[in-house]
Amino acid sequence: MTSLKKVVERASYGTVRESGKVRQIIIRIIPPNVVGFRAKGCRREYQLTMESCYLMAVRASVESERRKMKNEKMHHEGAKNTKENRY
């Protein structure tokens, strides 16, 4: 894998509402371990370390799985209760 030695900037398909307009999100990867986000046409950039991005992604994944399991459990128990009420 190639090491990051220079700034890489890309426009994403994601959009945000900034300064009264819907704008594309510009992502910058800055060596050695920083990710920057800004709205296209705006100067203000918000930065995070790669480690914090990773932890946020892991937490979001765990929360998503937790919600999925909870919804499946509620759906399963709801179906179980409707069967009991039929008899």
Residues 36 and 49: beta-carbon distance below 8 Å: no
Report the pLDDT value the prediction gives residue 76, as an integer from 0 to 100. Answer: 75
For residue range 22-61, what is the model confidence (pLDDT) as tens digits?
999 999 999 999 999 999 999 999 999 999 999 999 999 9
Would the pTM of this model clear 0.75, i.e. be above it?
no
Non-local (6+) Cβ contacts of 25 within 8 A are 11, 12, 14, 15, 16, 37, 38, 39, 40
